[in-house]
Structure formats: C-alpha cells, structure tokens
Amino acid sequence: MSDAIALPRRRVRGRFRKVLPAYALIAPAIVSSIVFLYIPIAFSGYWSFTKYNGLASPKWVGLQNYTDLLSDPRFLKALLNTVIFVILGMGIGPVLGLMSALLLNQAVRGRGFFRTAYFLPVMTSLVVVATIWKVLLNQHGIVNELLGVVGIPAHNWLGDPSTALVSVTVTSIWQGFGFETVVFLAALQSIPSDLYDAALVDGATAWQRFRYVTLPALRPTIAFVFIIGIIGSFQVYDQIFVMTSGGPLNSTRTVVFDLVDRFDSLKYGEASAVAYVLLVILATLSFIQMRLFEERA
C-alpha cells in the first residue's frame, strides 16, 4: 500500500531532478529572450492596438490598425511583393545551393578557393552588395553591356515597375545562396558512403542514387534551410532600401519596408500592427513546415 503511493512521488521527484539540468542549460537563452526580445515584442503587441507616436500616451483604438491595414492597398501590395520575393528566392536559392554543393562535392582541385568564392557574397554586408548591384544593373551598366553581347536588349532593370522586383530578387539570390551551398555541402559530406555503395551494388543510376539516397539524407538540412530561409526572406529590407526605396510605383515595396515607413512617420501603433501580421504569417508557415519536415526526424 504505502509502496504504491510512494512510488509515483519518487518517480516524479526523480524525473524532476532529471530534467533540471535541461532547464538550467536553456535558462540563459530563455531569460535573455524574455528580457531583450519578449518584453519589446510585448510592448509592440500592446501598441498595435493603439495610436502611439512615441511621446504622448498611447491611445487605445482596438482592432482599428489591423482593419486599416487589411484594407490599405499599399500594404496589400507590399504583402504581395513580399510573397513573390519569397517564392522566387526560396524556389531558386536552395536549388542553386544544392547544385553548387553537388558540384563542389566532386573531387576537384582548388575546392577551398571555390568555396570561398561562393561564400564571399554572404560575407559582404547586404548594403554593400545592394550598392554594387545598383551600379551594375544601371541602364549603362555592365549587366546590360554583357547582355548586349548575347543579343538581349538593354533594359532599365530597376527603373521599370515590371522588372524591378525580379532584379532585386536576383541580387538577393546571388548574395544568399552561398549560405545554402555551404550548409548543403557539409550535409552531403556527412552521408556515409556505404549507402551509395549499397545502391551501386543494386544497380542504381546516378539519378536514382540522388533521389533515393541523397535527398532523404538531406531532409533535416532542407528543413532547416527552408524554415530559416522563409523567415529571413519575408523580412527583406536592406536591399530594397538601397536599390529602389520601394519603387518604382511601389513595385518593390515589401512588408518590412512598409513597417519602417510607418515607424519613421512616428506611427508606432500601425508599425506594430504590421509586425504582428507578419508574425502570424511566419508562425503559421513555420509551424506547418516543422510538422511536415520533422515528423520523421
């Protein structure tokens, strides 16, 4: 009798002591996040329901900021532009990254040099990259000259509303896919070769080896790349600021650009609402992705 009662208690206490180290290990991260991230985010949450200019007391307006946003054509355009940017960027970037990783995984000489070359854009600040590309994409810049050699007519890439967004996206992909390359390359190198040997013994072609050995082994890496990548791409700002300032005709206006615009106008309530809309979108997407990818992790 007393045993039956004592057992659960002991088990609980034992379990408690067992998980204590885990909590201790994550405690610095949790505390730091609370103080430097969650408190500010909470403030913004509160402000998103108010009209607030930073100086006078916030004035409660309920959901008005949100309803205004969802009927604001400029914000909706920003949302659309951002979605296009993310789809293009995350559709192409990881693919390029994987392809480069596969290339670099071959036993080629000068691998160190090539790796550095691919990663160089990632190491350079976004502002510098954007500034450089702004010059290159100029009407009279190198890009148009080179395209002319191949017979493609010169175009005002950043000045034409129909090509501006794509041009900025290309710049971002150029700058960022080195990151995916490096991450995929490492993952590729950690796939045990016996798996490939076994596949070869079974008579698998190169494509089949890729499809049935490489890709599944890369699953967790792909998950990481997409989750982080989507969170990051949705918040694109620096390139827009440098290259196009959201134009021409709002064709490159993105969500964070819209947010900063409102922030600079001292409309902190509206800016916070934009941030929270973004948060809801990203949280939903990440949640879905984590379910999808990490089910079998």
Contacts of 293 (CB under 8 A, 6+ apart): 219, 220, 222, 223, 226, 227
Nearer to another protein, 80 or 235 (CB): 235
Nearer to another protein, 1 or 206 (CB): 206
Nearer to another protein, 136 or 204 (CB): 136
Please state whether the peptide bond connecting residue 40 to the residue before it is cis, i.e. omega within 30 degrees of 0.
no
Nearer to another protein, 110 or 151 (CB): 110
Nearer to another protein, 72 or 84 (CB): 72
Q: Output the smallest distance, CB 88 to another protein, in A.
A: 18
Contacts of 185 (CB under 8 A, 6+ apart): 100, 101, 104, 105, 115
Q: Output the smallest distance, CB 6 to another protein, in A.
A: 20
CA 208 → CA 100, 211, 281, 286, distances in Å? Answer: 19, 5, 36, 30
Strands 50-51 and 59-60: antiparallel
| Among 138, 174, 171, residue whose Cα is nearest residue 155 | 138
Nearer to another protein, 122 or 204 (CB): 122
Burial class (CB in 10 A: 0-12, 13-18, 19+), 108: exposed
Give the helix ranges, DSSP H, for the chain. Answer: 2-33, 39-47, 64-70, 73-105, 111-123, 126-136, 142-149, 164-189, 193-201, 206-209, 215-234, 238-243, 255-264, 268-294
- In angstroms, the CA 133 to CA 120 distance is 15
DSSP state of 254: -
Nearer to another protein, 88 or 164 (CB): 164
| Among 118, 129, 126, 116, residue whose Cα is nearest residue 93 | 118
Question: 1 in helix, strand or coil?
Answer: coil
